[in-house]
Amino acid sequence: MYTSFTIENFRCFPKLKIEPLARINLIAGQNNIGKTAFLEAIFIFHAANPGSLTSIEYSRGFQKLRRDELFWDLFPQFNAKQTIRFSGTENNDEVKSLEIRLQEQPTESISLERETTNSLLKSSPDEISFTYGDTFGQMVMKAYAEDDDDGFRLIFDKSMPNRRVAFLLARKRVTVQMLATRLSTLRAEKRHREIIEILQIIEPRLIDLEVLSIEGNNMVFADIETMPKLIPILLLGEGTVRLLEIALVVTGLQGHILLIDEIENGFHHSIMSRVWEVIAQLARKYDVQVFATTHSWESIQAAHKVFFKKEPNDFLFHRLEKVDDAIQVVTLDQDALQTTLEEGWEIR
């Protein structure tokens, strides 16, 4: 579990350090302050996998990536000559780091007589180097971009092994196939009842969950007490699907990281406390560290209420704010959070 995390030269963060960190970290701040970018930084760092860069771009909604502007948006001021650096300290004081550099390769010399269209001259692949460091030393991973129908794809030969991080986006849901695969694994291990009990928080009539294959596609179906047939889980409310996502994903992240953007999405304020209880319980059970963002006052109140009662050291609230054009973090412990929430003081 990380106790601190530093970002340099990534998106809107020339430099940002967040410390201390808890098992559950809730991040707030105004629009466009960098909450999602913060989650992306942790995603890239913990994954330590060049493929994470394209994942991030697709998650932002870019459908076609341009190789002439390879990951330009990941750098402050779009200056791709900088080195992106992340470092994290774990609770055993071990420091891990990741440096990302983009190296342009020399362009091939091409005769202008061969140029018949307005398309860009194709050059040799640009190289991205990922240098991951820990107490065992450094591992350098190289990746390069190769053209394909979607713009380009990253080719790389290695990544750090056994790195698991899940990023639940604000607006996009995980694939139906992924939900089905995960539930099938739990069913095979006879561990699916835990998931059903969790979903019963939102849908008390839920009796069971099944994975069925419909026209070659595996989907999760719910057995609802009053319904004559099993129904696709996607027909239940957004909150149910989101809670299912969270529960299924955490069970596969033993000892790793879960990122949730806009955690309040899909949940009525009246059940936010129960949602936080579930997250707290699962995170402890599976030793998962959680970073979530929120705009919601109710979400902050509910989280504080849950953790203040049982495990105050398991939760920290962080606010990103701009001070003299630089983004800083203000971290509130449980006492400060208690005072501010009691007074109704704005802390987002």
Q: Is 242 in the site for other proteins (CB under 8 A)?
A: no
> What residues between 211 and 230 interact with other proteins by CB under 8 A?
none
Q: Is 342 in the site for other proteins (CB under 8 A)?
A: yes
User: What are the structure tokens assigned to 55, written together?
Assistant: 């994942």
**d(Cα 347, Cα 329) in Å, to the nearest integer?**
12
- In the complex with other proteins, the residue whose CB is nearer, 233 or 303, is 303
Helix (H, G, I), strand (E, B) or coil at 197: helix
Q: Is 271 in the site for other proteins (CB under 8 A)?
A: no
Interface with other proteins: number of residues (CB under 8 A) = 25
CA 112 centroid distance within chain: 45
- In the complex with other proteins, the residue whose CB is nearer, 157 or 343, is 343
**d(Cα 114, Cα 220) in Å, to the nearest integer?**
54
Provide the mask over 280-319, with x wherever binding to other proteins is found by CB under 8 A and - wherever it is not.
Answer: -----------------x---x--xx--xx---------x
| Distance in Å, CB of 79 to other proteins, minimum | 28
8 A C-beta contact, residue 265 and residue 242 = yes
Q: What is the DSSP string of 305-348?
A: HHHHHH-GGGEEEEEEEEETTEEEEEEE-HHHHHHHHHHT----
Cα–Cα distance list, 157 to 71, 129, 154, 235 (Å) = 19, 12, 10, 40
Cα–Cα distance list, 40 to 56, 259, 293 (Å) = 7, 9, 12
8 A C-beta contact, residue 28 and residue 317 = yes
- In the complex with other proteins, the residue whose CB is nearer, 281 or 328, is 328
Stretch that binds other proteins, among 101-109, 190-198, 204-212, 330-338 (CB under 8 A): 330-338
- Helical H segments across 13-86, by residue range: 35-47, 51-59
Q: Which amino acid, 154?
A: L
Q: Is 340 in the site for other proteins (CB under 8 A)?
A: yes
> What residues between 138 and 177 interact with other proteins by CB under 8 A?
none
- In the complex with other proteins, the residue whose CB is nearer, 136 or 345, is 345
Q: Is 339 in the site for other proteins (CB under 8 A)?
A: yes
Q: Is 343 in the site for other proteins (CB under 8 A)?
A: yes
Q: Is 335 in the site for other proteins (CB under 8 A)?
A: yes
Binding site for other proteins (CB under 8 A): 297, 301, 304-305, 308-309, 319, 321, 323, 330, 332, 335-348
